[in-house]
Amino acid sequence: MYKLFFNLVFKRLDPEKAHHMAFFWIRLASSIPGLRTLVASVLAPRDPKLRVKALGLDLPGPFGLAAGFDKNAVGIDGLTMLGFDYVEIGTVTAQAQPGNPTPRLFRLIEDRALVNRMGFNNEGSAAVAARLAARPKSGAVVGVNIGKTKVVPEAEAVGDYVTSTERLARHADYFVVNVSSPNTPGLRNLQAVDQLRPLLSAVRETLDAQTNGHVPLLVKIAPDLADADIDAVADLALELGLDGIIATNTTIGREGLRTDAAKVEAAGAGGLSGAPLKARSLEVLQRLHARTEGRLTLVSVGGIETAADAWQRILAGATLVQGYSAFIYEGPFWCRRIHKGLSALLAASPHATLGDAVGAAARS
């Protein structure tokens, strides 16, 4: 049904316009109390065995919406209504910014992939903090993902992230330092340990001061890091007492695509997400798991489309998983399918709970 709708309507629309339209409907549905309850009752996770304790939180399941869909925290309850176990808002920057010129979002349908160069379009951390502060408590679990304002030079990045941390810390269930989007010039240089150490230390200190140490801190990394750099970030995260790592963001690579080369070329620069990212994202997770041996919470994202994909990440060491691109192709029943599939996979496995399954592939 959704596939038909996608082909007849969304496919003919500019992808960013389709996003705004779909997000508007989601928010509209969730603003009607009876409808919200009805939709949530159909789509929400129900299997208690899927409950996950992670990052000091008690979640209805492991499956969250990755950053970038709800950049300004305008639709958290609507997205939770669709069955996401948590929603990561952002990336939010200290200053409001328009992002890159449009068009800046492209579908590679044959690859079940997207290319985006949005460039952190967002209303800025003051506006987003005010919106989060005004939200009635709904029980939704909210991760807050922050990044660097484009016009702020790399040398002043720490202050920019600290400003956003001061504003947003008290509104987050967990906090993410994003240093891995390919669409802000120089941002990914912050992944180098010499740059990352002062940045993460300052954010950790600010976050702890604002919240009495109650909000977990994670760093989100790129799939394009060399293996030695992945190890270095993992070691640094352990050294600084971070709570976890989110892997991965989009890739600048374009290898192995089925889409016509001219179409890929026409999309231009940006981050590639969706199915083509699956293998590398899994590889990065496996490497992080081997390096950190269960001492950090690993959140796996990149090319997750099915329950089998999510299960594979859990077995490889992810306590939580996230997705974005497949939501565009799979539609509103996506979370329900993932949860039902995970329940079946768990029931057929030797593990009593999802928590028991985390990292099982590496132990066998």
Ligand X SMILES: Cc1cc2nc3c(=O)[nH]c(=O)nc-3n(C[C@H](O)[C@H](O)[C@H](O)COP(=O)(O)O)c2cc1C
- Give the 3-state secondary structure of 34-74: HHHHHHHHHHCCCCHHHCEEECCEEECCCEEECCCCCCCCC
Q: How many CB atoms lie within 10 A of CB 361?
A: 16
Phi, psi angle pair for 242, to nearest 5° = -70, 165
Nearest approach, Cβ of 48 to ligand X (angstroms)? 26
DSSP 111: G
Strand pairing of 244-247 and 271-274? unpaired
128, 67 Cβ separation under 8 angstroms: no
Nearest approach, Cβ of 22 to ligand X (angstroms)? 13
Task: Tell me which H or E stretch contains 220.
Answer: strand 217-221
325 is catalytic: no
Name which of 49 and 247 has its Cβ closer to ligand X: 247
Which positions lie near ligand X, rule CB under 6 A? 66-68, 71, 90-91, 105, 114, 116, 118, 120, 145, 178, 181, 220, 249-250, 273-274, 277, 301-304, 323-326
Which three-class secondary structure state does DSSP give residue 178?
Answer: strand
Name which of 25 and 48 has its Cβ closer to ligand X: 25
Nearest approach, Cβ of 145 to ligand X (angstroms)? 5
Nearest approach, Cβ of 16 to ligand X (angstroms)? 8
Q: From the candidates 125, 180, 181, 300, which is the catalytic residue?
A: 181
Name which of 212 and 330 has its Cβ closer to ligand X: 330
Residue 278, C-beta contacts closer than 8 angstroms, at least 6 positions apart: 302, 303, 304, 305, 309
Q: Which residue is nearest to ligand X (CB)?
A: 68
Name which of 77 and 88 has its Cβ closer to ligand X: 88
Residues forming the active site: 181
